[in-house]
């Protein structure tokens, strides 16, 4: 028998856990996130992002991949084998809400 | 923000004084080229156009090839336009990319520009600036064909477009808009330039081409204020403005002598 699907609460907690793991992992991941938060309309190649953020392409490849996995960045294949990346504003809102709720929950737990 | 009101069937540019020069604004669906020397206010005029759209409940897409959105937000805020707020609220989309990325898959109606227009139901588009298309095109013939294709595509999307373009000359008798005929592809052409008047540099605006009927053909003074651009009165008693070195009319100079 297939296992029961996770409840919304479990799914949210799992999602948040993964997001936090990504963000606390490295300084350049945080820089990437801050860059897209400040510039949500940027649509750029890996090389272009590396240039803008002054992070080596090899290093940035992993950071971008991690953000694609948590759904904050999306990729789009272009002509000539080029791939561009862009920010998902809705996913950011979703994650922000989750984070806010988790902080509030923890705060209210500490108070009681 | 200074609101300007378009007459029916016109779309306001949002620049106080310019809409009066245009008889109320530009025609819906038209493409307007704003050409000018560095620092004359091309991008600011684009921001006015987007802001006027927000005021008229016409969402707009602002495409920048050079500046990051955070710089555009900052500059807009300095003129009293809460662009970031509008972007977050889905009234505006500020996109920063390259021309080839922007237009890839245009033939399928699936380009990033198409998506941006669809996502907020945009009625206005600003492209800042066309000069970046020149960097991405090997020859002027392809460039002209692609630009004509883009403008037709934008008309089919039912948006009114404002394009900015850099004019390299700061001052002088000759103004070259483009070497590949961009000025022939657009419906309207607005020129922003510097004019030297008795030792001081001033900005001037002129509507060179307008498909919407009669328009003000005079050079008018253009001033940048903390609330954006303001078109002022014409240069009365001044001649040779189009040379870039204007001077007071002969009769006035003779009067001074006597």
For the stretch B114-159, pLDDT in tens is: 999 999 999 999 999 999 999 888 899 999 999 999 999 999 999 9
Residue B1 lies in a domain: no
Q: Can you tell me the distance from the alpha carbon of B112 to that of A87, in angstroms, rounded to the nearest whole number?
A: 13
B230 inside 8 A of chain A by CB: no
> Mapping DSSP to helix (H, G, I), strand (E, B) and coil, where does residue B197 land?
strand
The domain of B127 spans 16-257
CA–CA min distance A112, chain B (Å): 36
Q: Least CB-CB distance to B104: which of A40, A48, A79?
A: A79
Residues on chain B touching A76 (C-beta within 8 angstroms): 112
What residues have CB less than 8 Å from B53, skipping those under 6 apart?
B11, B14, B59, B60, B123, B124
Average pLDDT over residues B64-90: 97
| Segment among A11-15, B74-78, B95-99 with least mean pLDDT | A11-15
Banded model confidence at residue A5, pLDDT cuts 50, 70, 90: low
Q: DSSP of B153-175, one letter per residue?
A: HHHHTT-EEEEEEE---SSSS--
Residue B94 lies in a domain: yes
pLDDT cut 70: percent of chain A above it: 84
| A interface residues, B as partner, C-beta within 8 Å | 38-45, 48, 52, 76, 78-79, 82, 84, 89
Residue contact B100–A78, C-beta within 8 A:
yes
The residue among A22 and B147 whose pLDDT is bigger is B147
For residue B154, the domain's CATH number is 3.40.50.300
Q: Read off the tokens for A12.
A: 């949210």
Q: Can you tell me the distance from the alpha carbon of B64 to that of B46, in angstroms, rounded to the nearest whole number?
A: 11
Residue contact A84–B101, C-beta within 8 A:
yes
Is the CB of residue A41 less than 8 Å from the CB of residue B87? Answer: yes
B115 inside 8 A of chain A by CB: no
pLDDT computed for residue B11 by the predictor: 96
Residue contact A78–B97, C-beta within 8 A:
no
Residue contact B96–A39, C-beta within 8 A:
yes
Residue B10 lies in a domain: no
Residue whose structure tokens are 């008018």? B220
The residue among A11 and B173 whose pLDDT is bigger is B173
Residues on chain A touching B68 (C-beta within 8 angstroms): 38-39, 42, 52
Residue B85 lies in a domain: yes
C-alpha distances (whole Å) from B248 to each of B219, B221, B240, B252 are 14, 15, 9, 6
Residue B5 lies in a domain: no
Burial environment of residue B144 by CB neighbours within 10 A (0 to 12, 13 to 18, 19 or more): middle
Residue B9 lies in a domain: no
Banded model confidence at residue B170, pLDDT cuts 50, 70, 90: confident
Res B58 pLDDT > 50? yes
Residue B36 lies in a domain: yes
ipTM at complex level:
0.85
Q: Can you tell me the distance from the alpha carbon of B128 to that of A56, in angstroms, rounded to the nearest whole number?
A: 29
> Mapping DSSP to helix (H, G, I), strand (E, B) and coil, where does residue B232 land?
strand
Residue of B nearest to A40 (CA): B69
pLDDT computed for residue A2 by the predictor: 56
Is the CB of residue B95 less than 8 Å from the CB of residue B62? Answer: yes
Testing the interface with B: which of A41, A42, A89 to mutate, by most B Cβ within 10 A?
A41
Q: Can you tell me the distance from the alpha carbon of B222 to that of B225, in angstroms, rounded to the nearest whole number?
A: 10
Average pLDDT over residues B188-206: 90
Average pLDDT, chain B: 90
If one counts the domains in chain B, the total is: 1
Dihedrals φ, ψ of B252, to 5°? -70, -40
> Mapping DSSP to helix (H, G, I), strand (E, B) and coil, where does residue B257 land?
helix
Residue of B nearest to A84 (CA): B101
Residue B122 lies in a domain: yes
Tell me the pLDDT tens digit for each residue of A60-101: 999 999 999 999 999 999 887 899 999 999 999 998 888 888
The pTM score is 0.88
pLDDT computed for residue A34 by the predictor: 94
pLDDT cut 90: percent of chain A above it: 52
Residue contact B70–A76, C-beta within 8 A:
no
Average pLDDT over residues A47-60: 95
Is the CB of residue A31 less than 8 Å from the CB of residue A66? Answer: no
pLDDT computed for residue B2 by the predictor: 47
Res B174 pLDDT > 70? yes
Dihedrals φ, ψ of B255, to 5°? -55, -40
Q: How many CB atoms lie within 10 A of CB B141?
A: 11
Is the CB of residue B143 less than 8 Å from the CB of residue B150? Answer: no
């Amino acid at each position: 028998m297939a296992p029961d699907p996770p409840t919304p609460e479990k799914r949210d907690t799992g999602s948040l856990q993964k997001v936090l793991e990504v963000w606390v992992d490295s300084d350049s991941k945080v820089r990437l996130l801050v860059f897209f938060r400040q510039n949500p309309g940027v649509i750029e190649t890996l090389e272009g992002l590396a240039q803008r953020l002054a992070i080596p392409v090899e290093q940035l490849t992993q950071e971008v991949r991690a953000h694609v996995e948590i759904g904050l960045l999306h990729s789009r294949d272009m002509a000539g084998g080029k791939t561009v990346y862009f920010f998902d504003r809705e996913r950011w809102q979703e994650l922000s809400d989750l984070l806010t709720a988790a902080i509030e929950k923890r705060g209210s737990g500490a108070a009681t | 923000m200074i609101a300007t009101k378009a007459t029916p069937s016109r779309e306001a540019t949002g620049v106080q004084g310019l809409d009066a020069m245009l008889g109320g604004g530009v025609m819906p669906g038209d493409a307007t080229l704003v050409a000018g020397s560095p620092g004359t206010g091309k991008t600011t005029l684009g921001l006015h156009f987007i802001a006027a759209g927000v005021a008229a409940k016409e969402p707009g897409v602002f495409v920048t090839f050079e500046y990051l959105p955070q710089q555009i937000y900052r500059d807009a805020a300095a003129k009293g336009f809460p662009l970031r707020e509008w972007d977050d609220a889905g009234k505006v989309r500020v996109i920063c990319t390259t021309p080839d990325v922007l237009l890839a898959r245009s033939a399928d109606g699936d380009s990033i520009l198409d998506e941006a227009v669809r996502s907020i139901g945009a009625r206005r588009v600003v492209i800042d600036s066309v000069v970046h298309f020149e960097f991405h095109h090997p020859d002027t013939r392809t460039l002209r064909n692609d630009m004509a294709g883009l403008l037709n595509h934008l008309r089919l999307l039912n948006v009114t477009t404002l394009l900015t373009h850099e004019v390299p000359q700061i001052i002088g008798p000759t103004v070259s808009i483009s070497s590949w005929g961009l000025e022939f592809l657009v419906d309207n052409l607005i020129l922003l330039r510097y004019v030297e008047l008795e030792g001081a540099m001033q900005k001037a605006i002129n509507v060179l081409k307008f498909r919407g009927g009669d328009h003000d053909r005079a050079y008018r003074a253009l001033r940048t204020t903390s609330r954006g651009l303001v078109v002022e009165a014409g240069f009365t008693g001044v001649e040779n403005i189009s040379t870039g070195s204007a001077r007071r009319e002969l009769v006035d100079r003779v009067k001074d002598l006597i």
